[in-house]
Structures are given as C-alpha cells and as structure tokens.
C-alpha cells in the first residue's frame, strides 16, 4: 500500500515545480532542480546532506521530519523557497535577508541548504550562518536540537548526552536509538 504522505508530498512538489513565481533566494533560481532534489529526498531521506557547512544539528531534525512526515518536509522547503517563511507545527522558520542573498555552498543540494541554513539562521540572533568565516554560527547544542524536535511536534524527545568515554557509550546509545525509531 502506498504511503499517502509521500503521495501528497509528491503532489506538492509537482505544483511547486510548475509555479511561475521567482525564488526569494537570490542565487537559487532553478525551481526544477530543487523539485528534483525534493523528490529524491522524499524517496530517500538519507540523501539529506550538510557537507562541510557544520549544520549537522539541522540535518538531523530535517532527516527525521522527511522520514516521518514527508509532507511536512516538502511544505517547509517549498514555503521557504517561495516566501522565506515556513511553519512546522509550532516551529517557525524565517531566514534573514543576508542568507537569502548568499550562494549555496559547494557540495550541498539547494533543497538541503534552504532548510538546513534556515533552521540554523532562524535560531541565531547574532551569528551569520552564511558567513564562511563564522565557525560558531552553524554549531548546535543538544539542548537546541531537543527544543527543535519539541517545536516540530515530537512528544517523546530523549536527550542522551555522552560526556566521558565515548567508546564505551557510543555503541549502546546507537543500539538504543535504533530501537526507538522503528
């Protein structure tokens, strides 16, 4: 049986691709390219990739949203592309003007950069994620990731932070995580 959320997400992508409206992302104008990238990610969320941008925190929640609710994921990316505003349940994403004018980093798909950078930028009140010189801007704390998941509507969010002996804790934590997401 087909997943209705995937079917709905694909319909949103089709409508998005046919729009005549220009992108508000100054250096990302190829709507068909972004649509193709979205289709690929709806079919395989493991394609979501932050490259060397340091946006692994935003990538983790974007992956989960795309995996669990591809419609929410597609609506968020297409809304950001069209209006520079997206809402994922009670979580509001509004990238700054500087980010919208910046180029997409090499090696990162535009569909990924739009949402990953928007997540990070929406939560930064001081740092510029689009600045290659600002190494602090893209970093994410576990507390922020926890808050983002809650804002995105997840109700059973567990933060398991490893401070000491990463070798001893990594494998058991990974196994526990795999049993939780099934």
Q: What is the pLDDT of residues 102-130, one digit of tens each?
A: 888 989 999 999 999 999 887 755 444 45
Residue 135 has pLDDT above 50, yes or no: no
Domain ranges of the chain: 4-157
Torsion sign, CA atoms 82, 145, 121, 48: negative
CB of 15 closer than 8 Å to CB of 47: no
Q: Which helix (H) or strand (E) holds 87?
A: strand 86-88
Bridge partners (DSSP) of residue 92 are: 87
Non-local (6+) Cβ contacts of 44 within 8 A are: none
Q: What is the pTM of this model?
A: 0.79
Q: Measured between alpha carbons, how far is 139 from 31 in angstroms, rounded to an integer? A: 29
User: Per residue in 137-159, pLDDT tens?
Assistant: 445 677 787 777 787 887 877 76
Q: Give the residue from 155, 129, 151 showing the smallest Cα distance to 76.
A: 151
**Cβ contacts of residue 160 below 8 Å, gap of 6+?**
173, 176
- Compare 28 and 135 and report the one with higher pLDDT: 28
- Assign 116 to helix, strand or coil: helix
d(CA 73, CA 130): 22
pLDDT value for 42: 98
């Amino acid at each position: 049986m087909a997943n209705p959320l995937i079917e709905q997400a694909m319909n949103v992508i089709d409508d998005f691709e046919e729009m005549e409206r220009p992108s508000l992302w100054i250096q990302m104008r190829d709507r068909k390219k972004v649509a193709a990238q979205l289709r690929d990610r709806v079919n395989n969320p493991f394609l979501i990739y932050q490259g060397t941008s340091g946006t692994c925190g935003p990538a983790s929640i974007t992956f989960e949203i795309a995996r669990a609710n591809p419609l929410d994921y597609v609506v968020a990316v297409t809304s950001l592309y069209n209006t520079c505003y997206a809402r994922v349940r009670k979580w509001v994403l509004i990238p700054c003007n500087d980010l919208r004018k910046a180029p997409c980093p090499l090696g990162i798909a535009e569909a990924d950069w739009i949402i990953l950078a928007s997540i990070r930028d929406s939560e930064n009140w001081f740092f510029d994620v689009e600045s290659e010189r600002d190494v602090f801007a893209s970093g994410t704390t576990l507390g922020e990731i926890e808050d983002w998941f809650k804002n995105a509507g997840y109700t059973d969010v567990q933060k398991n932070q490893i401070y000491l002996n990463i070798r001893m804790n990594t494998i058991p934590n990974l196994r526990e995580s795999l049993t939780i997401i099934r």
